[in-house]
Amino acid sequence: MKSESSRAGFDRKRIVRSLVTGTIIGTAVSFLIILLAVFFIIKMQSMPYDALAPISIAAASVGSFCGGYISARANKSLGMVIGAVCGGIMFVLLAGTGLIMGGTAGLVTLLRLALMLLFGAAGGVLGVNKRKRRK
């Protein structure tokens, strides 16, 4: 018989596994979007410097959405929370990498955090509420 906490969606192993999976997939999606953007920037041969921040924020937000969706689908419960946590983990990885590489934290960093949490939570809600197809 399952314990009370397992039935409520608090199975630690499942939560950790779903967060790791969602974070890896979300980071990979963000990375692929950045690679695609770099390809187009190289093809254009000129790109305003001010356009880089919105591109990176958009890539991080889409990746966070995908990660939240995958995490919530794998966990099958707690969609908004799992999605937001996945977005938060992705933000910590992204911001940590940026700071290690010599970047600075500012207002754009707070905007990126807010958007990644929001998009991760939205992906989590959609991931939990997605119904399976009947054949």
| CB of 72 closer than 8 Å to CB of 9 | no
- At 131, list the tokens: 């119904």
Which one has a higher pLDDT value, 4 or 110? Answer: 110
Residue 75's closest CA among 29, 32, 38, 120?
120
Radius of gyration (C-alpha) of the chain in whole angstroms: 17
Q: Could you report the per-residue pLDDT of 88-107, keeping only the tens digit for each?
A: 999 999 989 888 888 888 88
Ramachandran bin of 106, using left for φ above 0, alpha for ψ from -120 to 50, beta for the remaining angles: beta
Q: What is the biggest distance separating any 2 CA atoms in the chain, rounded to whole angstroms?
A: 63
Q: Could you report the per-residue pLDDT of 9-61, keeping only the tens digit for each?
A: 578 898 999 999 999 999 999 999 999 988 888 888 777 777 788 888 999 99
Where along the chain do its domains lie? 4-129
